[in-house]
Structure 1
Amino acid sequence: MKDFFSGHSKIYASFRPVYPDALYHFIFRHLKNKSTAWDCATGNGQVAKILSAHFKEVYATDISQQQLDHAFRAHNIRYSVSPAEQTSFHDAQFDLITVAQALHWFDRDRFYREVKRIGKPGGLLAVWGYALLYIEPVIDTIIMDFYNNTVGPFWDDARRLVEQEYKTIAFPFEEIPAPPFSIDVQWTLEHLTGYLESWSSTQKFIRQKGINPVDAVAETLRKHWAEGESKKVSFPIFARLGVI
């Protein structure tokens, strides 16, 4: 199990982007029933929060208790610590299983076997992620340099699957083609730098070198970003939806 987020769970909960309603609407319209859902690798519970408004029961798991400590609470969400690949859930329990920005960390063969065990026949597995953000050309160039060169050596190899938008992974389900989506938000520079600090590669850099590399990139970005100014930030979303 790879846990790269427990040590900075509060930062993660504060600065990670929120997925658009259009993504959920696409998933929900292909569902036959909305009784029970499992949000796997729930992190701060942002997906579980949305699911709780549409399902009678939502089960949300993560390998990090620290992440769950900062998760959204609702009466019909049951949080627990569990790996993706082996759970205590019943056979054919879930109408929908979701994995947001986490499938690349899993032992996918074992996870898929678990999905087929605990998913209801005809239920759905929805997995998605988001690519590197873009803002405007000069800022995008600075962020790309930070991504590739400053913290590039500190990314886990699994990050390449995100860069490939999950197109290269096996997905042993009857697939429903998914359109592209986008997260579009207005961020200040402070929010952007908080997000950069939440990267697993940034945290690994800090642990190994004892300094925060975001401080230097923030100084460079300030030359192009006025104090208090908000800019549009976009994250392309890629998704795969399969029938269990």
Structure 2
Amino acid sequence: MSTYQHKDFPSHLYSRHRPTYSDDLFDLIYAWHVKTPGARTTTPAAFETAVDVGCGTGQATVALSGKFGKVYGLDFSEAQISNAVKGDNIEYRVGSSSHIPLPDKSVDLITAAECYHYFEKKEFFKECKRVLKPNGTIAIWGYAEPYVSGRPDLQPEFKRLFFEQMGPYWPRGFEIIANYYRYPPLPFGKVERLDWPHKTLPDYVRVHHWTLQDYKNLMSTWSGTKFLADLAQSTPGIAHPGDEHIAWLQKELGIPDAEFASKDIELGFYHCLILAKNDDSPIPEEPYDDLSGVKVLKGRWPGMVSLGGTRWWVDAPEINVGKFL
């Protein structure tokens, strides 16, 4: 069961304290949807129906509702759905990425924001190919490691927290977003990706003016935090490494205790966007979701992943992926 399915998962905090997405992100997706031809069709793109898979509390869903006639938000967590942002042309449904409850060839755009790494990939792609219209678009994006704007000297400690100290507590699938969706490849003929920080494009996951308290609140929504809290009930002495990290950051930035919840810092996130066009490209037979080859010793990255007979070296702290024989 996913962390977000737990009835005591703080979905109200998730809605309140998660990073948000800029209008520029959606404008780019819409432009790509219209201007980029599919590999094997000349059918024009449309803005009739969109599906936000893994919608959570509707951060991306509500943005889509301003462009599409009908938007479906799909999530397997009733807690998330109950706290989702409402809209006249939005319909939320409890479901999964493996079963999109819509007719064949009825959808123009499918989005997956900060959730694709937890999907059953092969089943998700099958559903995308089934429900998307010819020339329909898939837009997948995610973020992971935080950073403080203008302070690259702090990044080694952010990496240590996110990949090393929290490493043992992230759920299965984290290794995919840790490498910013560089694997497995998407089974479509037309695929493009963008990575941030970008040389010319603004951040699409917003750089937030947050306090240290806001940053701490964000940590409370991490799936690894929920796992840690459950583990601490049976294993005394376990502490969230984020507490030490926050204290270190407060000292480095020279923020007094009196301004812990009032002084803003610019906090951004490394992120990526992948865009693809629906076509009849076959879905490979290799086990997209077999991550049994991942080796993480005491939470330290890199790990080694074997996918479909190809061995991948996963070097999350440096955000690099390379094949080796």
Normalising by structure 1, we get a TM-score of 0.92
Question: Which residue identity does 1:43 align to in structure 2?
Answer: G
Structure 2 residue aligned with 1:40: 53
**C-alpha deviations, 1:108-139, integer Å up to 9, x for none?**
10110011111111110111111311113464
Distance 1:5 1:25 in 2: 31
Supply the RMSD in Å over aligned alpha carbons: 1.8
Q: Please, which runs of 5 or more residues in structure 2 have no aligned partner?
A: 34-44, 197-202, 279-325
1:130 aligns with 2:143: yes
Moved more, 10-19 or 139-148: 139-148
SS at match of 2:29: helix
Q: Please, which runs of 5 or more residues in structure 1 have no aligned partner?
A: none
Higher helix share: 1
1:60 to 73, 83, 87: 73
Distance 2:232 2:165 in 1: 12
2:195 to 180, 192, 212: 180
Question: Which residue identity does 1:83 align to in structure 2?
Answer: S
Distance 1:239 1:148 in 2: 21
Distance 1:229 1:137 in 2: 20
**C-alpha deviations, 1:15-41, integer Å up to 9, x for none?**
110112222111101232100000000
Distance 1:240 1:150 in 2: 28
Structure 1 residue aligned with 2:298: none
Distance 1:17 1:240 in 2: 18
Structure 1 residue aligned with 2:249: 221
Distance 2:173 2:85 in 1: 27
**C-alpha deviations, 1:120-169, integer Å up to 9, x for none?**
11110111111311113464344333323432211123111111111111
The answer to whether the Cα contact below 8 Å between 1:3 and 1:64 also exists between their aligned partners in 2 is: no
Distance 2:226 2:155 in 1: 21
Structure 2 residue aligned with 1:80: 93
**C-alpha deviations, 1:38-66, integer Å up to 9, x for none?**
00000010101100000010001100010
The answer to whether the Cα contact below 8 Å between 1:5 and 1:200 also exists between their aligned partners in 2 is: no
* Count of aligned pairs between the two proteins: 244
* Larger CA Rg, structure 1 vs 2: 2
SS at match of 2:125: helix
2:173 to 146, 153, 158: 158
The answer to whether the Cα contact below 8 Å between 1:178 and 1:241 also exists between their aligned partners in 2 is: yes
Structure 2 residue aligned with 1:240: 274
Distance 1:152 1:178 in 2: 26
Normalising by structure 2, we get a TM-score of 0.70
Moved more, 146-155 or 111-120: 146-155
Structure 1 residue aligned with 2:109: 96
Moved more, 1-10 or 28-37: 1-10
Structure 2 residue aligned with 1:200: 223
